[in-house]
């Protein structure tokens, strides 16, 4: 029986593959980190070929370790870091330059120009987004303007572009599928989320030719099959690729947030809170984004989203740049070694602030240092800072929804921190629930593929099989600390000159 699902979870700092059973059990997994490139302050890049190779190698390793035969795999689901822009040659598949990562701030001046010229309302009405360097559209424009010959070649049909889902799909299918799912399309600043199509006026505004954009498709359905000759995947040729979603929407689906009003937060490189708003898009009045959650069976589910640009990356900063910790979990150990933060607050605005502040020119700050500050205080300040930024997002969501949330579902690598999850529950004053398997991004992609492959008849059928996890109940009032965080936040805003 074809009862297993392979999820490829291509993230910002690593590529992983997980093989799931129909019941959600992880049979095997494989993961590898890849290089981050910072050519200038505020710029972030990936080598698309290294990204691709790492993902294909981990997929092969995952299947080999499992002992499952390729014929037992019902389908492949893709989840990916969103907004990261890749441009490649149609004939050779060779990238024309490094991928511009979602964190990159190089197009901030152009976004400020769009805002100054009065295009914010048009962009919000059509796409649900705001003019910000975060999104893919201005990254495509930058490549066309700055890579020699790129604009001419794109207009002649020699180049293709896409987010990471498109890049993976194109390569997995041997160049047969150039498509992007609705959730990823809705993060480009070029997609009309009401009519589910690329917007001609916005493409013209950002000087992006429509002919090189991928075909928008639903999140569950036939997307092609693994082609013969794909490096590392020779034995997987013919397996259908039938599910895809941006990592945050995949996590929302994997958490089983199928009912309007349910929300989750993913603690990864960034921190992302998504609220299911049903089949009608809701326009935020509090600095959030309106996006597509998924398209399924002819119906579209919309979400409100808030994004923290730097969450888990601030823990990596402690480890890789400062050398304060040797491994991520040590941050928890040191944070719990002190009774409080010692008055220290960390604002991890390394690449600006996302929702609800939208300050491209904010920068990271550590405040409240004294001679008595030690490693434990800094580690605690970093973990608390992630929880504070999440609380900011959820406060904005409550204003848009007109009601208090009843609970928060959490996932992502940093959600394994018991200290931070308890602190989050204290800040919000509601239960925080972590599932038994925190790899909900990969599980969501697998579920979308499984629906198309016929393993389940409906999302509700998936939900009935999920295993409960751990719940953190509020224990301490953190309002005083939260007020001091707001004071620290103001110090970090508008640090760089526009």
CB contact at 8 A, 285 and 400 = yes
- Give one DSSP letter per residue of 59-113, joined into a string: HHHHHHHHT--GGGEEEEEEEE-SS-BEEEETTT--BSSPEEPTT--TTHHHHHH
Quick check: is 21 in a domain? yes
Residue-level pLDDT at 268: 82
Residue 136: name the closest of 156, 106, 159 by CA. 106
Q: Are residues 280 and 344 in the same domain?
A: yes
Q: What is the pLDDT of residue 59?
A: 97
| Domain around 380 | 256-434+468-498
Report the alpha-carbon distance of residue 113 to residue 153 in Å, rounded.
26
The model's pLDDT over 107-156, given as tens digits with 9 standing for 90+, comes to 999 999 999 999 999 999 999 999 999 899 999 999 999 999 999 999 99
In a domain, 126, yes or no: yes
Q: Which residues pair with 117 in a beta bridge?
A: none
Residue 406 has pLDDT above 90, yes or no: no
pLDDT tens per residue across span 437-460: 778 899 999 999 999 999 999 998
Name 360's bridge partners: none
Structural domains counted in the chain: 2
Q: Map residue 456 onto helix, strand or coil.
A: coil
Residue 383 maps to a domain: yes
Please count the CA atoms within 13 angstroms of the CA of 446 that sit on its side-chain side. 27
pTM of the model: 0.86
* Domain contains 199: yes
Task: Output the pLDDT for position 498.
Answer: 63
CATH number of the domain to which 265 belongs: 3.30.420.40
The SS3 call for residue 343 is coil
- Alpha-carbon distance of 385 to 230, in angstroms, equals 43
d(CA 165, CA 82): 8
- Cα(351)–Cα(223) distance, rounded to whole angstroms? 34
How far is the C-alpha of 253 from the C-alpha of 447, rounded, in Å? 8
Burial class (CB in 10 A: 0-12, 13-18, 19+), 11: buried
CB atoms within 10 A of CB 351: 26
Cβ–Cβ under 8 Å, residues 11 and 311: no
Would you say 277 and 208 are in contact if contact means Cβ atoms under 8 Å apart?
Answer: no
Whether residues 372 and 318 fall in one domain: yes
Is 267's pLDDT higher than 70?
yes
Query: Is 30 in a helix, a strand, or coil?
Result: strand
pLDDT of residue 351: 84
Structure tokens at 446: 């697998």
Residues 178, 306: one domain?
Answer: no
Residues 291, 187 within the same domain: no
Does residue 236 form part of some domain?
yes
pLDDT for position 56? 97
pLDDT for res 57: 96
Span 169-184, pLDDT tens digits: 999 999 999 999 999 9
Q: What is the pLDDT of residue 118?
A: 96
| Burial class (CB within 10 angstroms; exposed 0-12, middle 13-18, buried 19+) of 432 | buried
Q: How confident is the model at residue 58 (pLDDT cuts 50, 70, 90)?
A: very high
Closest CA to 318 of 389, 379, 368, 374: 379
pLDDT at 1 over 70: no
Asked if residue 387 is part of any domain, the answer here is yes
Model confidence at 390: pLDDT above 90: yes
Q: What is the pLDDT of residue 258?
A: 92
Residues 218 and 302 in one domain: no
Both 220 and 276 in a single domain? no
Specify burial of residue 227 (Cβ count, 10 A radius: 0-12, 13-18, 19+). middle
Q: Looking at 221, 248, 275, which one is the last position of a domain?
A: 248
């Amino acid at each position: 029986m074809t009862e297993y699902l392979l999820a490829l979870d291509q993230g910002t700092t690593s590529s992983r593959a997980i093989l799931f059973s129909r019941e959600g059990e992880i049979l095997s997994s494989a993961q590898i980190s890849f290089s981050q490139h910072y050519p200038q302050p505020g710029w972030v890049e990936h080598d698309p070929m290294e990204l691709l190779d790492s993902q294909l190698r981990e997929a092969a390793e995952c299947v080999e370790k499992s002992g499952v035969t390729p014929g037992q795999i019902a389908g492949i689901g893709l989840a990916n870091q969103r907004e990261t822009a890749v441009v490649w040659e149609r004939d050779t598949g060779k990238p024309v330059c490094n991928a511009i990562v979602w964190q990159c701030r190089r197009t901030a001046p152009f976004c400020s120009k769009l805002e100054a010229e009065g295009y914010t309302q048009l962009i919000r009405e059509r796409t649900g987004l705001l003019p910000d360097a975060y999104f893919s559209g201005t990254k495509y424009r930058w490549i066309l303007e700055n890579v020699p010959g790129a604009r001419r070649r794109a207009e002649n049909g020699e180049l293709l572009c896409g987010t990471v889902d498109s890049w993976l799909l194109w390569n997995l299918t041997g160049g047969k599928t150039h498509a992007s799912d609705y959730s990823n399309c809705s993060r480009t600043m070029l997609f009309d989320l009401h009519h589910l199509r690329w917007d001609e006026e916005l493409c013209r505004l950002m000087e992006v030719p429509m002919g090189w954009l991928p075909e928008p498709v639903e999140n569950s359905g036939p997307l092609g099959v693994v082609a013969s000759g794909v490096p590392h995947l020779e034995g997987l040729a013919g397996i259908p690729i039938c599910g895809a979603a941006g990592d945050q929407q995949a996590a929302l689906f994997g958490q089983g947030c199928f009912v309007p009003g349910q929300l989750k937060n993913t603690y990864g490189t960034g921190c992302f809170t998504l609220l299911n708003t049903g089949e009608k898009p809701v326009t935020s009045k509090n600095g959030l984004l309106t996006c597509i959650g998924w398209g399924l069976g002819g119906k579209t589910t919309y979400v409100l989203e808030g994004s923290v640009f730097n969450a888990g990356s601030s823990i990596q900063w402690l480890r890789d740049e400062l050398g304060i910790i040797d491994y991520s979990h040590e941050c928890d150990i040191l944070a719990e070694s002190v009774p409080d933060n010692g008055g220290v607050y960390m604002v991890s605005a390394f690449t600006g602030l996302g929702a609800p502040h939208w300050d491209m020119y904010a920068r990271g700050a550590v405040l409240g240092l004294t001679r008595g500050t030690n490693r434990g205080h800094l580690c605690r300040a970093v973990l608390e800072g992630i929880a504070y930024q999440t609380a900011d997002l959820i406060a904005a969501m409550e204003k848009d929804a007109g009601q208090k949330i009843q609970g928060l579902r959490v996932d992502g690598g940093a959600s394994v921190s018991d200290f931070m999850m308890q602190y989050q529950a204290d800040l919000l004053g509601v239960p925080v629930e972590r599932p038994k398997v925190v790899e909900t991004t990969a599980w969501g992609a697998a579920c979308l593929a499984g629906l198309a492959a016929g393993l389940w008849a409906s999302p509700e059928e998936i939900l009935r099989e999920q295993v409960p996890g751990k719940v953190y109940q509020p224990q301490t009032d953190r309002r005083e600390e939260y007020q001091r965080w707001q004071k620290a936040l103001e110090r970090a805003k508008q640090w760089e000159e526009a």
